[in-house]
Every structure is written in structure tokens, then in C-alpha cells.
Amino acid sequence: CVCGGALTRVGGAARAWQLVRSMKVPDHLAEAMFARVTHEGRRVSVVCDLCCEKNIPLDSALWTCSNNKETILHASAYDVCEACFMQHAVDGGPVLPSLQQTDS
């Protein structure tokens, strides 16, 4: 990442859960907030910081900065969709396989 943090590939559902946990809500509210963040259970309320794509599918992957909101260079986290990552970091290479959501 431009801030020096590592970009980590995470599944859409895992990223949605990270968003809920970053809000520091009590555990009893976390599930309801997770449902809201993933509105209708199929999309992540994350915007790609490169192409501005919204509503990324839960079964897709995102690249997110390990520094989250802890840097002035991106004060509201930093997420890159799989297509942009492959286009800009891997010279237009093929999209990596989806991360399958598991019930655990």
C-alpha cells in the first residue's frame, strides 16, 4: 500500500465482518450490524478505492491494507477489488479464484 502497510487478500464476508468489528459495537449487536452491512446477504458495503466499484459480492475477494484507518494517507481504510488488483499489480493477469463463503 502507498502507506507502507501490507495488502492482504480477504473474502468479502470476512471483510464485512472486519467492518462490523472496527465499529467497536457490543457483541449482541454485531450480528444485526453484520446483516445490515451485507445488505440482503449477497454484497459487501465496501467501495474499491481505485475504480469506485460498490457492492462487491460476498464470495469475491478484496485486498485491504493492514493499517486500516490508522494512517493519514487513507483515513477510512483502503480496499481494492480483485479486478483492479490484478490489473494494476499483476500486469493485467487473470483474476484469482473466488473465496468460497463457509458456514463456520
pTM > 0.75 = no
Segments making up each domain of the chain, as ranges: 7-89
How far apart are the C-alpha atoms of 64 and 6, rounded to whole Å? 8
How far apart are the C-alpha atoms of 40 and 12, rounded to whole Å? 14
Q: How far is CA 89 from CA 63, 69, 98, in A?
A: 11, 22, 18
pLDDT for 67 beyond 50: yes
What is the band of 45 on the pLDDT scale with cuts at 50, 70, 90? confident
User: C-alpha grid cell for residue 66?
Assistant: 493492514
Q: What is the pLDDT of residues 16-37, one digit of tens each?
A: 888 888 888 898 898 888 887 7
More confident residue, 36 or 80: 80
Q: Do 17 and 48 meet the contact criterion of CB atoms below 8 Å apart?
A: no
Residue type, 78: Y
Cβ density class 10-44: b for 16+ within 10 Å, e for less? bbbbbbbbbbbeeeeeeeeeeeebbeebbeeeebb
pLDDT at 41: 65
